[in-house]
Amino acid sequence: MSDARGGVLRRSRKDADTGPRASFRELLPYLFEHRAALVAVAFLSLASAAAGLAQPLLAGQVVGIVEAGGTLGMLVWVLVGLVVVGAILGGIQHYLLQRIGTAVVFSARRSLVRRMLRLPISEFDRRRTGDLVSRVGSDTTLLYAVITQGLLDALGSAILFVGSLIGMLLVDAVLLGLTLAVIVIALASGILLSSRIRPASLQQQERVGAVAAAVERAIGAIRTVRAANATERETDAIIVEAEAAKRAGYKVAKISAMVVPIAGIAMQVAFLVVIGVGGFRVASGAISIASLVTFILFLFMLIIPLGSVFGAVNSINQALGALGRIQEITNLPGETDEDAAIEPAAPVSTSAAIRFDDVRFTYAVPPVSPEGTNPPISGGSSVQSVTNATDSAAGTPEPEIREVLKGVTFEVPRGSRVALVGPSGAGKSTVFALIERFYDPDAGVVRLDGRDVRGMPRDELRAQIGYVEQDAPVLAGSLRDNLKLASPEATDAQCIQVLRDVNLGAVLDRDPAGLDAPVGEDGIMLSGGERQRLAIARALLAAPPILLLDESTSSLDGMNEQLLREAIDAVAHDRTLLVIAHRLSTVVDSDIIVVLEHGEVVGIGTHSELVSSTPLYRELAKHQLLV
């Protein structure tokens, strides 16, 4: 595990210095998926380039015939035909490339989303949601430009370029030599400048990510922002980020603006040279006027694509910056990738559904990064990762270490109702996170039915556990969407029944849409109590043998609390229930209460036992008027 983590750390640290950057080679797998269409495009490019290259030759002949006073006849029609065929082939080629571009964007989005949703929870702790969203939305679209504009230009231009060179060589080698001298100088300076575009464009994409993160931050808490009269300040903060993105965009524009005119200058200089020297050679009888016209037309074919090649290099450079940001995520190990290296503890025979054996856990909190991108640690749990991060390159801010569980041991007997209580920040929710394997402990063992959870496939582990989070337990969508999240096979009748079981019948009846009634973003159309009961209904529908319930800290009124208790009773029936309780009144009748303080278990027993044995519990009970 630590090796794999170390790998991530090393990569991240490098990225912090230089920014994630992809090489052209890394773009190839995306193109390879569409190789058949790309081969077709290559053939079309060849054909349309051939049609284009034939035009100067024919035009030269036309000039020759007109000069000699002959009639043009079919030649004009062939010329017209070539123009039309060239245009049609160009159109088809364009369509194919746009299709491929769209498909490549899709593939990139698919692999990004597949990986993103499988990242370890610690990655979400340290990354900004808006930045992740922007990678899926904005970075991927830059790949479209590289395929449609970049590839089309690069391919067609390369063929035209080489073809024109051959044509010019056949017409006049001396003129070609002079032209080439001008072009080589232009190309060299263009390439030199474009290498600076990639870092600038990467920076621009990072800034766009930061804008998205800032928008997400404000909209995610829009009510709080409004209530705090902070709308102006939040708007300004987003605009500051947007301005930084604008400045980064200006920088890209400045560099590309330097590149593009080079092609124009090269064209003008080459023309002047060709017309001057060419005129002289016509006068001296070395070449005919027809040959000079042919040469000049070839020069057009050579120089115009040169401009597009510079454009193509620009867009390829931008796309590689974006691809770097995409691959920064797709190259991260997924949640299960490190499991092979884990040696789980031997199973023990026990009557406990859940058992913690001397469990220690530390969060490594990454230093704040203004860009919303990855600070150089992997976040999460292991001491190893902390050590790796702290020995990182000089100047890198060190992560804050939070030792949250300091040797926690307790058991939840099968079929029992156990409560976890303790002051805020004692580590109660972290206990749940370790049972769900959102993180793995640094030391000690978390067991489910005697088995080390690290030895169980995550899907199997989570199928046995229902988990009701403390906050935001409802997803945007309908009542049905929420209920079927954990049990997609559930029927409407089962959904309706479970809603009634948790006292949500009224919510169902009040909306004619029934199960299709929308709950709003984060369940905003429901009350706090209703949201919690809906989350409990979801857990209940999946019928897991173990239920983890992190009670909301928000105070519920007496009526709601009664409804919640009834819902919990419905849930508790026939299963193991571990509840994090903030109101002792909901847990006084638990079989066992575990008292946690500063990451340590300071008491285990029933309510009456703890009132006499554990001062902290007695204090809590006194505050809540239970003794």
Ligand X SMILES: Nc1ncnc2c1ncn2[C@@H]1O[C@H](COP(=O)(O)OP(=O)(O)OP(=O)(O)O)[C@@H](O)[C@H]1O
Q: Which is nearer to ligand X, 123 or 411 (CB)?
A: 123
Comparing C-alpha atoms, which of 445, 424, 241, 218 is closest to residue 348?
445
The helix or strand, by DSSP H or E, that contains position 47, with its residue range, turns out to be helix 35-67
Interface with ligand X by CB under 6 A: which range of 181-189, 254-262, 370-378, 425-433?
A: 425-433
At closest approach, how far in Å is the CB of 363 from ligand X? 3
Count, residues near ligand X per rule CB under 6 A? 14
Interface with ligand X by CB under 6 A: which range of 172-180, 426-434, 533-541, 616-624?
A: 426-434
Q: Which is nearer to ligand X, 198 or 583 (CB)?
A: 583
Task: Give the separation between CA 531 and CA 534, rounded to whole angstroms.
Answer: 5
| Interface with ligand X (CB under 6 A), residue from 288, 396, 429, 464 | 429
At closest approach, how far in Å is the CB of 365 from ligand X? 5
Count CB-CB contacts under 10 A for residue 335: 16
What are the backbone dihedrals phi and psi of residue 605, each rounded to the nearest 5 degrees, phi first?
Answer: 165, -170
At closest approach, how far in Å is the CB of 430 from ligand X? 3
Q: Which is nearer to ligand X, 120 or 190 (CB)?
A: 120
Q: Which is nearer to ligand X, 96 or 426 (CB)?
A: 426
Segment 379-418, which members bind ligand X (CB under 6 A)?
402, 404
At closest approach, how far in Å is the CB of 392 from ligand X? 19
Count CB-CB contacts under 10 A for residue 212: 25
Q: Which is nearer to ligand X, 422 or 473 (CB)?
A: 422
Residues ≥6 apart with Cβ < 8 Å to 143? 27, 30, 101, 104, 105, 108, 319, 322, 323, 326
At closest approach, how far in Å is the CB of 426 from ligand X? 4
| Interface with ligand X (CB under 6 A), residue from 426, 445, 507, 579 | 426
| Interface with ligand X (CB under 6 A), residue from 71, 229, 349, 424 | 424
At closest approach, how far in Å is the CB of 622 from ligand X? 19
Q: Which is nearer to ligand X, 27 or 547 (CB)?
A: 547
SS3 588: coil
Q: Which is nearer to ligand X, 51 or 595 (CB)?
A: 595
Interface with ligand X by CB under 6 A: which range of 219-227, 320-328, 419-427, 609-617?
A: 419-427
In terms of phi and psi (left: phi > 0; alpha: psi -120 to 50; beta: otherwise), the region of 229 is left
Q: Which is nearer to ligand X, 209 or 427 (CB)?
A: 427
Interface with ligand X by CB under 6 A: which range of 241-249, 305-313, 428-436, 492-500?
A: 428-436
Q: Which is nearer to ligand X, 402 or 458 (CB)?
A: 402
By CB atoms closer than 10 A (0-12, 13-18, 19+), residue 165 is middle
At closest approach, how far in Å is the CB of 519 from ligand X? 24
Is the CB of residue 578 less than 8 Å from the CB of residue 412? Answer: yes
| Six token digits for residue 87 | 């245009």
Q: Which is nearer to ligand X, 122 or 291 (CB)?
A: 122
Is the CB of residue 124 less than 8 Å from the CB of residue 378? Answer: no
Task: Give the separation between CA 512 and CA 505, rounded to whole angstroms.
Answer: 13
363 binds ligand X (CB under 6 A): yes
Task: Give the separation between CA 478 and CA 123, rounded to whole angstroms.
Answer: 29
Interface with ligand X by CB under 6 A: which range of 207-215, 238-246, 427-435, 477-485?
A: 427-435
Q: Which is nearer to ligand X, 26 or 600 (CB)?
A: 600
Q: Which amino acid is at 152?
A: L
| Six token digits for residue 65 | 């015939």
Task: Give the separation between CA 359 and CA 539, rounded to whole angstroms.
Answer: 26
At closest approach, how far in Å is the CB of 422 from ligand X? 6
Number of residues in the chain: 627
User: Which residues pair with residue 354 across a beta bridge?
Assistant: 412, 448
Q: What torsion do the CA atoms of 245, 251, 254, 257 make, to the nearest 10 degrees?
A: -70
User: Which residues pair with residue 291 across a beta bridge?
Assistant: none
356 binds ligand X (CB under 6 A): no
Q: Which is nearer to ligand X, 29 or 425 (CB)?
A: 425
430 binds ligand X (CB under 6 A): yes
Is the CB of residue 260 less than 8 Å from the CB of residue 307? Answer: yes
Count CB-CB contacts under 10 A for residue 605: 16
At closest approach, how far in Å is the CB of 604 from ligand X? 16
Instruction: Provide the terminal-to-terminal Cα distance of the chain, rounded to the nearest Å.
Output: 48
Q: Which is nearer to ligand X, 26 or 125 (CB)?
A: 125
SS3 262: helix
Site map 109..148 versus ligand X, x via CB under 6 A: ----------------x-----------------------
Q: How far is residue 160 CA from its own chain's centroid?
A: 39
Segment 240-299, which members bind ligand X (CB under 6 A)?
none
Q: 428-447 burial by CB neighbour count: b if 16+ within 10 A, else e? A: bbbbbbbbbbbbbbbebbbb
425 binds ligand X (CB under 6 A): yes
Footprint on this chain of ligand X (rule: CB under 6 A): 125, 363, 365, 402, 404, 422, 424-430, 470
